[in-house]
C-alpha cells in the first residue's frame, strides 16, 4: 500500500483494548444512571427493545460505550531492531480492575511522543536530511483494527472520565479524520474507500493465512470472563493475540509479510496489581 510507504515499523504502537460494562449487572448501576441508560437504549436499541429485550438485558452490551463501560486491558506491541540485526516484536499489557491504573500505565508509555501529522501540536509530516538527524525524535503512529471507530475514541473519553492527562498521540478531539495520519486502522485500509468493506479481525487474518486470534474467547464473552469468571489473565492473553494479529496484517499491507517468520516474539509477563 502506497499510503504506508513513509511508515517506519519501529515507530508504530500496535494496540488493542478490552472493555466491559462498568458494573457487573444493571441492578448495580447507580440509581441516577438508570433513567439515562433507559433513554440511551430507547434511542440506540429500539429494535432490540421491540423484540422483547429489556433495558436490564441490554446492559450486557454496556462495555461498547465509553459512557457506561470501562477498559480492563490495553495491550501494546512494537517492532524493534536487536543488536544482532534481527527484528523483535515486543508485547506488553496494562490490565487491572482499577481502570485509571490501566490508563495511567498506557499514557505513561506513550508519554510526550509526537504524532505523525501536520495539524496536531508538536507533530510533523516529514523530516528533511534524514541521514543527518537524530531519529529518536521521529514521530510515531498508532495502529489498531477498527481503531478510528472504537479504540482511539474510547481511550480518549475514558481518560477524560478518569482525569488522566491525554497524551499527544490521542489528543485528537476536534480534528478531522484526514488531519490524523498517525492513526492507522487496518479495517479502514481494507475498505479502499468502500463503506461496505467492514471486516472482522479473524476473517481478515484468515484471508491472509494468519491463525485466528479468537481460538479461545471472542469479544462477546469478555464481560462474562471478567465479571463472572474473574479471569483477567485470560482477557490479557486474548487481547495480546489481537495485537499480534494486527501487526501481522500490517506487514501484509506494507508488503513485508516475509519478515514475520524471522521475528522474535516477546510477550512481557503480566502480573495483577490490584488485590
- Please check the confidence at residue 113 and state whether its pLDDT lies above 60: yes
Same domain? 79 vs 207: yes
Longest Cα separation, the chain? 66
What is the count of structural domains for the chain? Answer: 2
Checking if the pLDDT of 119 tops 70, the result is: no
Rounded mean pLDDT, 134-147: 81
Whether residues 101 and 176 fall in one domain: yes
Q: Per the domain annotation, does 273 fall within a domain?
A: no
pLDDT of 138: 76
Cα separation, 185 vs 66, whole angstroms:
19
pLDDT of residue 121: 59
Instruction: Encode burial over 189-219: b for 16+ CB neighbours within 10 A, e otherwise.
Output: bbeeeeeeeeeebbebbeeeebeebbeebee
pLDDT at 216: 77
Is 275 contained in some domain? no
Q: What is the CA radius of gyration of the chain?
A: 19
Residues 51 and 145 placed together within one structural domain of the fold = no
When pLDDT is cut at 50, 70 and 90, the band that residue 133 belongs to is: very low
Residue 47 has pLDDT above 60, yes or no: yes
pLDDT of residue 273: 63
In a domain, 272, yes or no: no
Which tens digits make up the pLDDT trace of 181-197? 999 999 999 999 888 87
pLDDT of 76 > 80? The answer is: yes
CATH assignment at residue 93: 3.30.420
* 163 and 44 within one domain: no
For residues 71 and 158, the answer to whether their CB atoms sit within 8 Å is yes
Mean pLDDT (whole number) for 254-258:
94
Above 70 in pLDDT, residue 135? no
Same domain, 99 and 222: yes
In this predicted structure, the answer to whether residue 205 has a pLDDT above a threshold of 50 is yes
For residues 93 and 221, give the distance between their C-alpha atoms in angstroms, rounded to a whole number.
19
Number of CB atoms found within 10 A of residue 64's CB: 16
* Residues 179 and 229 both lie in one domain: yes
Q: Residue written as cell 481494507?
A: 190
- Residue 16: pLDDT above 60? yes
Q: List Cβ neighbours of 178 (8 Å cut-off, separation of 6 or more).
A: none
Given this model, what pLDDT does residue 112 score? 85
Q: How confident is the model at residue 127 (pLDDT cuts 50, 70, 90)?
A: very low
Residues 40 and 54 in one domain: yes
Alpha-carbon distance 243 to 144, whole Å?
8
Whether residue 274 lies inside any domain: the answer is no
- Count the residues in the chain: 275
Q: Which residue has the higher pLDDT, 41 or 273?
A: 41
Q: Domain check: are 179 and 137 in the same one?
A: yes
The angle at the Cα of 73, spanning 67 to 74, to the nearest 5 degrees, equals: 95
Q: What is the mean pLDDT of residues 75-97?
A: 94
Crossing angle for the helix pair 99-110 and 152-162, to the nearest 10 degrees: 110
User: Do 36 and 150 belong together in one domain?
Assistant: no
Residues 61 and 196 in one domain: no
Which range of 76-80, 120-124, 198-202, 212-216 scores highest in mean pLDDT? It is: 76-80
The answer on 100 and 61 residing in a single domain is: no
Task: Please tell me whether residues 7 and 125 are part of one structural domain.
Answer: yes
Distance CA 57, CA 48 (A): 10
Which domain, by its residues, includes 30? 23-67
Q: pLDDT at position 233, please?
A: 94
Classify residue 174: in a domain, yes or no.
Answer: yes
Domain annotation covers residue 209:
yes
- CA contacts within 13 A on the Cβ side of 222: 24
In a domain, 110, yes or no: yes
Q: pLDDT tens for residues 209-218?
A: 998 877 778 8
Residue 11 is assigned to a structural domain of this protein: yes
Residue 17's pLDDT is what? Answer: 97
Average pLDDT over residues 145-151: 95
Amino acid at each position: 500500500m502506497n499510503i504506508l510507504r513513509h511508515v517506519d515499523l519501529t515507530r508504530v504502537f500496535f494496540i488493542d483494548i478490552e472493555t466491559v460494562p462498568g458494573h457487573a449487572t444493571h441492578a448495580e448501576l447507580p440509581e441516577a444512571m438508570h433513567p439515562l441508560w433507559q433513554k440511551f437504549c430507547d434511542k440506540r436499541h429500539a429494535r432490540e427493545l421491540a423484540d422483547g429485550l429489556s433495558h436490564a438485558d441490554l446492559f450486557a452490551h454496556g462495555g461498547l460505550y465509553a459512557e457506561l463501560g470501562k477498559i480492563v486491558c490495553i495491550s501494546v506491541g512494537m517492532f524493534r531492531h536487536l543488536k544482532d540485526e534481527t527484528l523483535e516484536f515486543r508485547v506488553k499489557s496494562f490490565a487491572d480492575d482499577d481502570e485509571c491504573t490501566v490508563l495511567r500505565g498506557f499514557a505513561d508509555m506513550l508519554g510526550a511522543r509526537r504524532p505523525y501529522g501536520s495539524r496536531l501540536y508538536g507533530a510533523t509530516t516529514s523530516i528533511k536530511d534524514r541521514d543527518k538527524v537524530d531519529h529518536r525524535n521521529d514521530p510515531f503512529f498508532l495502529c489498531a483494527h477498527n481503531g478510528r471507530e472504537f479504540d482511539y475514541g474510547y481511550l480518549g473519553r475514558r481518560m477524560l472520565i478518569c482525569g488522566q492527562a491525554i497524551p499527544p498521540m490521542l489528543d485528537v478531539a476536534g480534528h478531522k479524520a484526514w488531519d490524523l495520519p498517525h492513526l492507522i486502522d487496518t479495517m479502514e485500509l481494507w475498505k479502499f474507500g468502500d463503506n461496505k468493506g467492514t471486516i472482522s479481525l479473524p476473517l481478515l487474518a484468515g484471508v491472509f493465512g494468519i491463525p485466528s486470534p479468537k481460538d479461545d474467547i471472542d469479544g462477546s464473552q469478555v464481560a462474562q470472563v471478567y465479571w463472572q469468571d474473574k479471569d483477567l489473565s485470560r482477557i490479557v492473553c486474548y487481547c495480546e493475540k489481537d495485537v499480534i494479529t494486527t501487526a501481522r496484517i500490517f506487514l501484509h499491507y506494507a508488503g513485508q509479510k516475509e519478515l514475520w517468520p524471522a521475528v522474535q516474539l516477546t510477550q512481557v509477563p503480566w502480573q495483577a496489581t490490584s488485590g
